[in-house]
Structure formats: C-alpha cells, structure tokens
Amino acid sequence: MKMKRLAVLLLALALIVGLEVALTHGLGGGESASAPAATASPEPTAEPAATPEPTPPIDLEKTKPNEAGEIPIVMFHAFVEETEPDESASTSFKQYTQSFAYFKDLLGRLYDMGYRMTSMNDFLSNSIAVEAGYKPVIFTFDDSSASQFSLIEENGELVVNPQCAVAVMLDFYKEHPDFGLEGTFYVNLGASPFYEERTEGTPLAGTAQERLQYLIDLGFEVGNHTYSHYSLPDARDAETVMYEVGKNQAVMYDLVKDYTFTSFSLPFGSTTPDLFEYVKGGVYEGVAYKNLGIVEVGWDPAISPVNPDYNPYSIHRIRGTGFLAEDCDFEWWLKNPRDPIYVSDGDPDIVTVPESYLSLVDQSKLGTKQLRTY
C-alpha cells in the first residue's frame, strides 16, 4: 500500500510541475498564439528607463567629473553610400553630407574616446545621467531626410531601411548598448518626412504617421524645424512666424496624438530678432506651442545648463563633418578639444564640479539638485 500511495503522489507531483511549466512558458511568459500580427515592429526599442537605484559613491579623484564643462551637440543632415562625392557635387553638398561608412566609424571612435549618448530633453532639463567618468554627446538631425531614417516593407511588415543613419545606430547599439541610443530629429512636416520616391532599389514604405511613430517608439525625439523650412528673417509679422512654427506642431498632433515638440532648430541657423518671442512660443489656430530650447547652426560645443551664460534659446551646435572637412566642424573639435569638457558624475540629481571651476556654476540654475565640489 505504501508503494502504491507513493506512486500516486509522484504522479500527482509530476502533473502539477508540468502544468506550472506550461502556464509559465506557454500561457504566461510567451507570445499568445491568437495575438494579431503588428504592422510595424521596431527593432530594438530603447525602453524607458526604470526608476534608478541609488547611485553608489564614486571616487571623485579617479573619475574627475566636471559638470560645468561643455557638451558637443552635433548637427547632421544627409548620408550616402558613396565614400567619395561626385566631382560635380556642390560645396554645400560636400559640407553637409557624409557616408554611412564614415558615420559608423565615427560611432566607434566616440565610444573609444569615452563619449556616451544623452538626449536633448535631458540636456534641457539638466538631467544628464551618463555613466560616471564618461562624456555626454548629443546627436541632432535636421530636415527629416530619408537618409537619416526611413522604412521599407519586409514580409508584410515595416522595418528600418538598412540604408539610413538610424540603421547604423541600431547596429552599433546592439554591439555596444552602453553607448546609448539617442537623437533628436528636427522635422519639416510641410513635406512627407523621412521619405523619397525611388526609381531604383527597394521602395520606401510607411505613411508619415507610421514613420514618425516608429522613430518615437525606438526612443528617439522629434523636434520642430518649421513647416516648410522657412527662413525666419523673411517674416514680416507674427502671423507668419506662428504659421511656420505653430502649424508644424499642429500637423504633428494630427500625425502622432499628444506628441509635443520641446525644442526647435532654426532653419539656416538664422532668426528674426523683432519676432523672436513668437519663435519661442505662440498659438496657431488654437494650437499652442512652446519651445524649451532653440538650437543654432553651430560651430562650437554647448555650455553646461548650469553655466552663468547658458541661454536655452541660443544653444550652440557643431556641424557634423562632411566630405569637405573644415575648421570648427566636429572632427576639428575632436582634435582640438577646449577645456573644460563635461564629464558626468553618473547622478542626475547632483551637479559635481572641481572647486577650481566653481565660477562656471550659477547656483540659481541648480533647481532641486545638489552641488558637490572636490
């Protein structure tokens, strides 16, 4: 009898274990067999950051953080497969265009030089959380070209076009997740963003809404660049400025519900001083807009958000090096760094600077953050 009871008990235990495994792996932990197929499947998505654990103490003398330093905000425009420009290419093309091979090489060199990506929004809120001892870098992309980001259709689904800058960044991120996956794309929604008609190769795919949503789902930010890439100095009245800036936001709301631009890139790097208040904020046909930061077509690194001279409406950028390298482009600054360079302490709630750089901190700009010196 004892042997029979033992056999029954063992059989019951096996059934229970089997049921638990099935529930865990078949019903609870895997994909549902009845789940509908998604029409767009971003790969890999930059997940929202979880609530951070308390930052462990760091060796300040070894890490040498300096959050009063300068940050490179790099401006990119166009990318091509060719590694050399056509002889007939214009000077402007050579200045603002680079090859995908160069861009991939640049990511690797930045990683080896101790740079890590942060976002424009984290810069504007002074919440940079790059790992302690590393230097933040911000990527921005103007004009919403298909070479920056685009989609193709593959097996009935939308996927990132392998011939775009975002594809290069995604591939690098898979190999070096600690580098980060960030960037702000400044769009002109008067034209279809991230799209072009093609007579050769794989045709691009997706609606404007699908492309923008896909980019956002990957973890990237989208910013305002006017509705039609308008030269703001040509504006003669507030209505024109509010149309260009406000309509772009209104169209964005139509395409991606509730997505609010937080920063603005000046087309051609120029503005209208007399109407600048309407670039910063205004109302277009009942749609309000407010830019927390305005970036320029730049020539040098941006100063820290705690610097006494920091102005969120005049944020400097560095032009990404094109086929035609020039003084004060990004490669030039990498070879000719200017002191001080921003080095993170790893804690977005603390601003750490050497005592010798304390004059570069306006304590009224700290907000709720703690100031730490060494």
Per-residue pLDDT tens over the stretch 47-93 = 444 555 666 789 999 999 999 999 999 999 999 999 999 999 999 99
Strand, helix or coil at 91?
A: helix
- What confidence tens digit (pLDDT) does each residue in 286-331 have? 999 999 999 999 899 999 999 999 999 999 999 999 999 999 999 9
Strand, helix or coil at 71?
A: strand
- Identify the pLDDT of residue 55: 62
pLDDT: which is higher, 10 or 109 = 109
370 has a pLDDT exceeding 50? yes
Radius of gyration of the chain measured on its C-alpha atoms: 25
Structure tokens at 255: 């395409």
Lowest mean pLDDT among 36-50, 183-197, 322-336: 36-50
- Identify the pLDDT of residue 298: 82
CA–CA gap between residue 351 and residue 361 (Å, rounded): 9
- Identify the pLDDT of residue 40: 45
CA–CA gap between residue 303 and residue 309 (Å, rounded): 8
Structure tokens at 315: 């944020």
65-373 maps to CATH 3.10.350.10: no
State mean pLDDT over 22-26: 38
- What confidence tens digit (pLDDT) does each residue in 160-183 have? 999 999 999 999 999 999 999 999
pTM: 0.85
- Identify the pLDDT of residue 359: 98
